[in-house]
Amino acid sequence: MILSKLSDLCDIRSGYSFRGKIEESKDSEYKVVLAKDLAPFTGIDFGSLIHADYSGRNDEVLLRDEDILCIGNGPRLYSAVIRDVPENVVPSSHIWIMRLKSNVISNDYLSWSLNHSQKYFQSMSQGATVGHINRKMLESMEINVPDLQTQKNIVELENLLIKEKEVFSALIERREKLINQIQKELGNSRR
């Protein structure tokens, strides 16, 4: 296992800084990713993004498959690997874009590692109530990098955990409905 700075593993850049409030423009060919649009582990629902005018000239902020997006503001900082990215999608400036430049780490493992680094983010974040992670803090973050097979195993284990949570949540919801139905029927039988 090696310990590497995040800046040695990937390029980090912020999303596009729109001037003022982002206004929806249905005629625009560009879609904008806001912090609220990024879900930890699952990524983005591209169909729900708003269209907005983008006057940027830097194609480097346009999203690509396998980019890692990281929310840099808020009470909990998290990331997700994005896939099946349509053309002309631009993240706002509150989102960090990470692109691997090393083949010793996988995107999924790096995202997992970032999502499990909340203590680091809390200790380094600026701001009294809403934390903020700047680029230097991200670049200097140290990541434990095991071999690629171990990374794959960790990510698979995390994915299984997420699926188990979904199954248990659905089971709990069904049992609650069953209990409520029983209670309703018992209440009706007393009349």
Q: Are residues 11 and 104 in the same domain?
A: yes
- The domain that holds 125 is classified in CATH as 3.90.220.20
Task: Please state the pTM of the whole predicted model.
Answer: 0.83
- Considering the domain architecture, whether residues 114 and 174 belong to the same structural domain is answered as no
Asked if residue 167 and residue 94 are part of one domain, the reply reads no
What's the pLDDT at 156? 97
Number of domains in the chain: 2
Could you read off the pLDDT tens digit of each residue along the chain, which spans 191 residues?
A: 899 999 999 999 999 888 778 888 888 889 999 888 988 777 898 988 999 888 777 788 899 999 999 987 776 778 999 999 999 999 998 899 999 998 999 999 999 999 888 777 767 665 555 567 888 988 999 999 999 999 999 999 999 999 999 999 999 999 999 999 999 888 876 66
- At residue 124, the pLDDT reads 67
Number of other residues whose CB lies within 10 A of the CB of residue 133: 22
End position of a domain, from candidates 107, 124, 145: 145
The predicted pLDDT at position 128 comes to 54
Q: How far apart are CA 72 and CA 134, in angstroms?
A: 7
Q: DSSP for 18-87, please give it.
A: -SSS--B-TT-S-EEE-GGGEETTTEE-GGGPEEB------GGGS--TT-EEEE-BSSS--EEE--SPPS
Are 129 and 154 in a shared domain? no
Same domain, 121 and 162: no
Q: Are residues 17 and 91 in the same domain?
A: yes
Domain end, chosen from 127, 145, 163, is at 145
- Looking at the structure, do residues 79 and 170 belong to the same domain, yes or no? no
For residue 181, the enclosing domain spans 146-191
Domain identity same for 119 and 185: no
Q: Give the pLDDT score at 91.
A: 93
